[in-house]
Structure 1
Amino acid sequence: MAAPLFLLAPPRSYTSLVNAMLGQHPQCFGLPELCLFNVDTLVDLWRGSAAEISENGPMARHGLLRAVAEIYCGEQSTATVNMALRWASVREHWTTGQVFQEIVDKIHPLVAVEKSPSYTISVKRMRAMLDTFPDARFLHLVRHPVAQAKSLLAINDGAFTIKVNAFEIGEDYALMEPQIAWHDINLNILDFLDKVPPAQQMRMRGEDIMAQPEQRLAEIARWAGLRDDAEAVDQMMHPERSPFACFGPINALFGNDPNFLAGPTFRPHTPKIPPLSKPVPWRDDGKGLHPEVVQLANEFGYV
């Protein structure tokens, strides 16, 4: 069995695009967001309310349903998603690790590639991934804190920052502060990776992949023990060819970032990387990044 490759990153850190690119490698199978390790047993993924979109609400189930429909039926339609619902009901009391293991076995010998950003909210969730797959590889994908924070605030009016309690509290104010989420989630990832063998982990800046895709994708492939020839790299340059790089049928529309689903084609570009010392654009008091955010961004190669 080929051990999975997991992408670890806060939301809005190029994970949708990079997951789809790696998933197009001829030796890989790029999965949508399964969200399985958010919970202990499969039935728990069906116990969320409509408000729990990023945890175990209805949208969190779309990726699993689409994956099962595609893997077992070869297509994603209303009928095959209904089949996937029946597949899940038979396994409702399985641990989510067992469910993920069956999916990995089914797509063998291809390497499963997955990235559910919600895993990184909790070190416990990431440890469950490693307990299930001791040989798994983990790609820590990072993005500049200002760019990631701006993008995060643009999604559902910054709802994710509220979910992870990313607030700056003063004597007479409380401010939604997305850089706190960037900092704390990356610290969660570093805490988890401290227990992962060095050979099974890699860190890469998303901006570097955008600017030098062929070089960086080949580098990731070599680290993962995959082919790095021109044909393999060319296939990874076409994330839009993934069966999950589009909206799904009406009963499982999502399973990924809607912005990516609406426009999955990759266009190489060099993202602007602002200095860490300037005031941040989402505040009107002229303040910049917190010192601890700057320090961690420095460790990731930003200046």
Structure 2
Amino acid sequence: MTAAEPVFLLAPARSYSTVAVALLSGHPDVYGFPETLVFNAATVGELLREGTGWARFPLRQSGLWRAVADLHEGSQDGDAVARAREWLADRADWPTTRLMDHLIDLARPRVSLEKSPDTSSDDAILARCMAAYPRARFLHLVRHPVTAQRSLHEHWRPAGRFRSEKALITEAAAFWYLSHQRIIAALAPLPAEQWMRVRAEDLLTEPRVWLPRILAWLRLDGDPHIVDRMLLTENWRFAGTGRSDDLLGGDPKFLRSPALRPIPAPGPVVFDPSWGLHDEMCDRMTDLAHSLGY
């Protein structure tokens, strides 16, 4: 395993993963991708067709467009993005792993860092990632189950995905729990040096403590002057939403205001009684949270 192996950040949605990538991307030897969703399908054509089914999220694939445009042309303007979309359409028969290889090659000698929350949301997607890159490093980012689920409620509710508040709350609990269980099971067989787990609250609250630890694991220079530059998350090449203000590839709220901001410290693992979650589910989430350091 060399320092040039890619790094995949594994975390369910609403785990501060976009902020974490923006932080790490401030290192001169790291190329932090927006969300590419590249492992969601076996071929580029299937990946592009998948995007057409997300009528409520028409820009779901714009992170991939931005990455291709940036690596091909050093630009994310409208023309470059249009050419990136054409380039992808012309390679519909490519395996998505070939596309990822291509992007990683273009990013070299920088270390590629990619995160797409979808990767940890499905067994097949995560297996595709890990099978394609068995020597990659994996950063498992975790967030307190109560604040993560509150954020999921707020994020999912406007989309009208659920018929009832109870269904939304139950799905958010299952999503947090199953995503982390899936990641834990996938990482368990790997050598200890190939993966690292970090609490998002620690990273964002004490970045000068935790960034050097992550950089040491990645075998990258952790000079304090470099770390200071990494705190300027607004300088990430994918911060913002493009000149047209309609490109995403991460948490929209952060992309539109990408400066690093303090977050509350994690409190006790106590679920809101008004959520009406079953005791067994609360007990399982509490045990998992404790194993993750909460």
Q: Going by fraction, where is helix more abundant, 1 or 2?
A: 2
Instruction: Tell me the CA shift for residue 283 of structure 1.
Output: 1.9
What's the counterpart of residue 62 of structure 1? Answer: 62
SS at match of 1:202: strand
1:226-266 per-residue CA deviation (whole Å, 9 max, x = no partner) reads 11111221121111101211002549611111111111101
SS at match of 2:8: strand
What's the counterpart of residue 27 of structure 2? Answer: 25
**Which amino acid is 1:273 matched to?**
P
- Native 8 Å contact 1:239 1:264 kept in 2: yes
1:98-137 per-residue CA deviation (whole Å, 9 max, x = no partner) reads 0000000011100111110011012322222222222211
Instruction: Tell me the CA shift for residue 272 of structure 1.
Output: 3.1
**Which amino acid is 2:105 matched to?**
D
2:207 to 213, 224, 227: 213
What's the counterpart of residue 294 of structure 1? Answer: 286
SS at match of 1:204: strand
Distance in 2 (CA, whole Å) between partners of 1:190 and 1:160 is 31
Question: 1:135-214 alignment to 2 at 5 Å?
Answer: 135-157=135-157, 176-177=169-170, 178-214=172-208
Q: CA RMSD in A?
A: 2.7
Query: What TM-score do the two structures reach when normalised by structure 1?
Result: 0.88
What's the counterpart of residue 229 of structure 1? Answer: 223
SS at match of 1:218: helix
Which residues of structure 2 form unaligned runs of 5+?
none
**Which amino acid is 2:226 matched to?**
A
4+ long deviations beyond 6 Å: 284-289
Distance in 2 (CA, whole Å) between partners of 1:293 and 1:67 is 36
- Native 8 Å contact 1:53 1:59 kept in 2: no
**Which amino acid is 2:247 matched to?**
L
Distance in 1 (CA, whole Å) between partners of 2:139 and 2:158 is 25
Greater shift after overlay, 237-246 or 44-53? 44-53
**Which amino acid is 1:240 matched to?**
E
What's the counterpart of residue 5 of structure 2? Answer: 3
- Native 8 Å contact 1:30 1:114 kept in 2: yes
What's the counterpart of residue 46 of structure 1? Answer: 48
- Native 8 Å contact 1:280 1:288 kept in 2: no
SS at match of 2:101: helix
**Which amino acid is 2:54 matched to?**
E
SS at match of 1:103: helix
Relative distance call for 1:251 and 1:78 in structure 2 (3 A) is farther
1:278-298 per-residue CA deviation (whole Å, 9 max, x = no partner) reads 341762689796100000001
Identity %: 34
**Which amino acid is 1:283 matched to?**
W
Which residues of structure 1 form unaligned runs of 5+?
none
Distance in 2 (CA, whole Å) between partners of 1:175 and 1:154 is 10
Query: What TM-score do the two structures reach when normalised by structure 2?
Result: 0.90
1:263 aligns with 2:249: no
What's the counterpart of residue 118 of structure 1? Answer: 118
Distance in 2 (CA, whole Å) between partners of 1:102 and 1:141 is 26
**Which amino acid is 1:105 matched to?**
D
- Native 8 Å contact 1:8 1:117 kept in 2: yes
Instruction: Tell me the CA shift for residue 151 of structure 1.
Output: 0.5
- Native 8 Å contact 1:246 1:262 kept in 2: yes
How many equivalent pairs are there? 291
SS at match of 1:59: coil
SS at match of 2:5: coil
- Native 8 Å contact 1:279 1:287 kept in 2: no
Distance in 2 (CA, whole Å) between partners of 1:301 and 1:273 is 10
